[in-house]
């Protein structure tokens, strides 16, 4: 189908049709996709980072085998598989944070954020929720109000919770940054007036929680200044608020460490994870809360419910994926090499007159353009030509001047080089068109 054709039976509000696709994919292997015509594409987007282990049919086979004897489970029933997976997840989070905690499971990322906020409400009651400008935490009727874009809230049926958006934490482009670089302490000082002069309109109910991404994904792939973030976290704690870290995109070594909050040295109260936990095989998210935030006395049975919370296949997929991360050949070891390779091969792009800067954080690389050309560049790069594969990149409507690469973390060095070559060719074609 052509770029402008959308099937008459498909609701075009689906993100798939943000830019109507020109191809239909039929198979995949490693870091490559193939369409129905047999044309090849290198995937540097990895289902928004979910496919950390690439297209590995072995994970699917193993997960199916583990769930074969119990392919489905009635609602409100327990299984040994579920208990084992939750124990493994709880152990990972508790070791990373340094305190014990409990884990609950949900379906997608937005549902995980909603459950995290139920835990907040159970422990703090009402109160304002703080987020950052540029943040993204979902598009459900509740989570859309935590996300930055007003487009997400335009079609929502209710006004939502009390939310205060703190200044955009992009110290690299902030007009108030010191000439010497780094973060302006005055920005944190403004936040510290919360609860004193209420310059942001925080009501008397106080601050219930701060919800933060270790790296703003939809907001432009921005890494907050660590010092600034820690000062904000400390102040929110002084006001009695809980720290909720959204690791849905950043979890499982996407930024280098196992969890993105480790990059900043902060200790969350609640963590939400998803995406890479099943390597993109199925919907799954989990919420970890330090003791006693999710203890039965505080968060009793019936506080949340999901028909598929005990789905054996989803749990088997998580179990299989965690085996990969815990094995002797854990992909965690490849992330530093991937980051170094991305830095090396993409640094030359700053010589192009349409490229303002290149930034790399672990398995995420961002190419900042000199104008709002990201969607055009994505379309150009995705077209295979003359025996060359297409290249799948990421971009967001909130950051029209940035394209991102967050490929599978197992991407070999030679494919990273090919990605850089294809990207430079696409930028050259874009420059010629402009």
d(CA 105, CA 86): 8
Q: Report the candidate in 309, 291, 276 with the shortest Cα–Cα distance to residue 83.
A: 309
Given a cut of 80, whether residue 254 has pLDDT beyond it is: yes
Given a cut of 90, whether residue 279 has pLDDT beyond it is: yes
Kindly write down the DSSP assignment for every residue of 144-176, as one continuous string.
Answer: GGTSS-HHHHHT-SS--S-EEEEPP--TTT-TT
Q: Report all structural domains of the chain as residue ranges with CATH numbers, in order of start.
A: 25-57+331-433 (3.90.1150.10), 70-326 (3.40.640.10)
At residue 154, the pLDDT reads 78
Q: At 63, which helix (H) or strand (E)? A: helix 57-67
At residue 75, the pLDDT reads 83
At residue 178, the pLDDT reads 72
At residue 194, the pLDDT reads 62
39 burial via Cβ count (<10 Å: 0-12, 13-18, 19+)? middle
d(CA 128, CA 195): 11
Given a cut of 90, whether residue 299 has pLDDT beyond it is: yes
pLDDT digits 0-9 by tens, 191-248: 766 654 455 555 556 899 999 999 999 988 999 989 889 989 998 999 899 999 999 9
Given a cut of 80, whether residue 348 has pLDDT beyond it is: yes
Quick one: pLDDT band at residue 19, thresholds 50, 70, 90?
low
Q: What pTM does this model have?
A: 0.94
pLDDT digits 0-9 by tens, 128-147: 899 998 899 998 889 999 99
Who has greater pLDDT, 193 or 124? Answer: 124
The percent of residues in the chain predicted with pLDDT above 70, rounded, is 92
Helix (H, G, I), strand (E, B) or coil at 94: helix
The DSSP code for 11 is: -
**Average pLDDT of 30-53?**
96
At residue 44, the pLDDT reads 98
Per the CB < 8 A criterion, the answer to whether 424 and 49 are in contact is no
Quick one: pLDDT band at residue 181, thresholds 50, 70, 90?
low
d(CA 313, CA 182): 46
List the structure tokens of 268.
Answer: 């969350």
Per the CB < 8 A criterion, the answer to whether 60 and 324 are in contact is no
390 Cβ contact partners less than 8 Å away, ≥ 6 residues apart? 39, 40, 41, 42, 381, 382, 383, 384, 422
Q: Report the candidate in 263, 125, 257 with the shortest Cα–Cα distance to residue 204.
A: 125
**Average pLDDT of 252-268?**
97
Kindly write down the DSSP assignment for every residue of 281-335, as one continuous string.
Answer: SS--EEEEEETTTTSTTTS-TTS---TTTT-HHHHHHHHHHHHHHHSTT-GGGGH
At residue 431, the pLDDT reads 94
d(CA 163, CA 130): 6
d(CA 95, CA 425): 44
List the structure tokens of 34.
Answer: 């193939």
Per the CB < 8 A criterion, the answer to whether 105 and 273 are in contact is no
Per the CB < 8 A criterion, the answer to whether 261 and 229 are in contact is no
Q: Alpha-carbon dihedral of residues 413, 251, 316, 119, nearest 10 degrees? A: -170
C-alpha to C-alpha distances, 423 to 28, 56, 345, 408, nearest whole angstrom:
21, 25, 11, 17
Backbone angles phi, psi at 424, to 5 degrees: -65, -40
d(CA 223, CA 216): 6
pLDDT digits 0-9 by tens, 376-415: 999 999 999 888 999 999 998 889 999 999 999 999 999 9
The percent of residues in the chain predicted with pLDDT above 90, rounded, is 70
At residue 234, the pLDDT reads 92
At residue 2, the pLDDT reads 45
d(CA 52, CA 254): 8
d(CA 408, CA 401): 23
Per the listing, tokens 């124990």 go with 87
Provide the mean pLDDT of the chain. 90
Per the CB < 8 A criterion, the answer to whether 148 and 134 are in contact is yes
pLDDT digits 0-9 by tens, 135-179: 999 988 899 999 988 877 777 777 778 888 888 887 766 767 777
Per the CB < 8 A criterion, the answer to whether 170 and 398 are in contact is no
**Residue 392, Cα to own-chain centre: how many angstroms?**
17
List the structure tokens of 261.
Answer: 């909050």
List the structure tokens of 41.
Answer: 């594409």
Q: Report the candidate in 198, 224, 203 with the shortest Cα–Cα distance to residue 213.
A: 224
At residue 182, the pLDDT reads 66
199 burial via Cβ count (<10 Å: 0-12, 13-18, 19+)? exposed
Per the CB < 8 A criterion, the answer to whether 409 and 331 are in contact is yes
Per the CB < 8 A criterion, the answer to whether 292 and 300 are in contact is no
């Amino acid at each position: 189908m052509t770029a402008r054709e959308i099937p008459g039976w498909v609701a075009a509000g689906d993100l798939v049709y943000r830019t109507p696709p020109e191809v239909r994919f039929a198979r995949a292997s490693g870091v490559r996709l193939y369409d129905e015509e047999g044309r090849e594409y290198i995937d540097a987007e990895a289902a928004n980072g979910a496919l950390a282990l690439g297209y590995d049919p072995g994970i699917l086979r193993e997960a199916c085998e583990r769930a074969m004897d119990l392919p489905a489970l009635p609602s409100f029933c327990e299984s040994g598989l579920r208990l084992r997976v939750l124990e493994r997840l709880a152990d990972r989070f508790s070791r990373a944070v340094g305190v014990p905690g409990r884990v609950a499971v949900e379906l997608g990322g937005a549902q995980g954020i909603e459950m995290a906020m139920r835990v907040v409400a159970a422990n703090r009651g009402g109160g304002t929720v703080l987020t950052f400008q540029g943040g993204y935490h979902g598009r459900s009727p509740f989570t859309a109000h935590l996300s930055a874009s007003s487009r997400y809230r335009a079609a929502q049926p209710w006004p939502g919770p009390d939310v205060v958006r703190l200044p955009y934490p992009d110290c690299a482009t902030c007009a108030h940054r010191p000439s010497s670089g780094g973060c302006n302490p005055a920005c944190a000082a403004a936040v510290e007036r919360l609860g004193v002069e209420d310059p942001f309109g925080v009501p008397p109910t106080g601050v219930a929680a701060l919800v933060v991404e270790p790296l703003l994904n939809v907001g432009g792939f921005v890494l907050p200044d660590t010092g600034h973030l820690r000062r904000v976290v400390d102040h929110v704690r002084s006001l009695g608020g809980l720290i909720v870290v959204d690791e849905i995109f950043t979890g499982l070594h996407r930024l280098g460490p196992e969890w993105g909050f480790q990059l900043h040295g902060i200790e969350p109260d609640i963590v939400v994870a998803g995406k890479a936990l099943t390597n993109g095989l199925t919907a799954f998210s989990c919420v970890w809360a330090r003791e006693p935030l999710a203890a039965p006395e505080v968060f009793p049975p019936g506080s949340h419910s999901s028909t598929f919370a005990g789905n054996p296949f989803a749990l088997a997929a998580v179990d299989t994926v965690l085996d990969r991360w815990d094995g002797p050949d854990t992909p965690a070891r490849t992330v530093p090499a991937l980051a170094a390779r991305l830095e090396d091969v993409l640094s030359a792009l700053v010589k192009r007159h349409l490229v303002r800067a290149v930034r790399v954080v672990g398995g995420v690389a961002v190419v900042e353009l000199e104008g709002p050309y990201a969607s055009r560049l994505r379309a150009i790069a995705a077209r295979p030509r003359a025996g060359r594969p297409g290249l799948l990149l990421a971009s967001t409507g909130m950051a029209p001047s940035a394209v991102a690469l967050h490929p599978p973390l197992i991407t070999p060095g030679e494919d990273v080089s090919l990605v850089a070559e294809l990207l430079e060719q696409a930028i050259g074609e874009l420059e010629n068109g402009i």
